[in-house]
């Protein structure tokens, strides 16, 4: 085989190898990918609560060009992320027939309806500008790597476990936004 053909085959191999590497790099950790838009609000008596609680209906918008898995979300006072005090939790409604817990996958540039339930001791008239949503999320690329790391951890001998890297799940904070 001539030298020219070897160089062309090597170059072609490197280009084909670079395509998934570039994709993973671009979709690994988009910056603060989710937005929380308030579309409704009500006071409701919920099961397992003594008093009525404030429930916000939200749309969770994914601004990234890749799917995002929303792990969990909670409400906390704005400006107090160094010492969080949970004021409520986020739960997602996938369809009108049933209630599903997180995690939920939000497609690229899509929205998912959710509900945010404040705790009983939070006043019903707490201004939305005074709270933020903290949330954990993973891109689908990061989720695949974490799943593979978990699988390796389960199937390799214990002596190798500490050598298996496990990427951290990102946490971000976003304000509640009125629906535009």
pLDDT in tens, the chain (180 residues): 899 999 999 999 999 999 988 888 888 889 999 999 999 999 988 777 788 888 888 999 999 999 999 988 888 888 766 665 677 777 754 433 344 567 888 999 999 988 888 888 888 888 888 889 989 999 999 999 999 999 999 999 988 888 888 999 999 999 998 866
In a domain, 167, yes or no: no
Nearest-Å Rg of the Cα atoms of the chain is 22
What's the domain count of the chain? 2
In a domain, 126, yes or no: yes
In a domain, 16, yes or no: yes
Boundaries of domain holding 56: 32-137+172-178
- Quick one: pLDDT at residue 180? 64
Tokens of 102: 């997180």
Alpha carbon separation from 134 to 44, 144, 145, 173 (Å, rounded): 23, 23, 23, 4
DSSP state of 172: E
């Amino acid at each position: 085989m001539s030298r020219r053909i070897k160089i062309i085959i090597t170059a072609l191999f490197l280009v084909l190898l670079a395509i998934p590497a570039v994709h993973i790099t671009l979709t690994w950790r988009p910056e603060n990918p989710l937005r929380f838009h308030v579309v409704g609000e009500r006071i409701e008596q919920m099961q397992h609560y003594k008093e009525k609680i404030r429930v916000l209906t939200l749309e969770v918008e994914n601004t990234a060009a890749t799917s995002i898995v929303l792990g969990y979300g909670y409400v906390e006072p704005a400006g107090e992320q160094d010492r969080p005090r949970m004021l409520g939790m986020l739960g997602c409604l996938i369809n009108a027939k049933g209630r599903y817990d997180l995690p939920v996958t939000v497609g690229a540039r899509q929205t998912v309806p959710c509900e945010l339930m404040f705790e009983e001791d939070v006043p019903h008239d707490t201004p939305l500008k005074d709270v933020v949503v903290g949330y954990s999320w993973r891109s689908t690329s990061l989720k695949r790597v974490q799943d593979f790391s978990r699988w390796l951890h389960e199937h390799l001998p214990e002596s190798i476990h500490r050598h298996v890297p496990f990427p951290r799940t990102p946490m971000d904070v976003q304000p509640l936004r009125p629906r535009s």
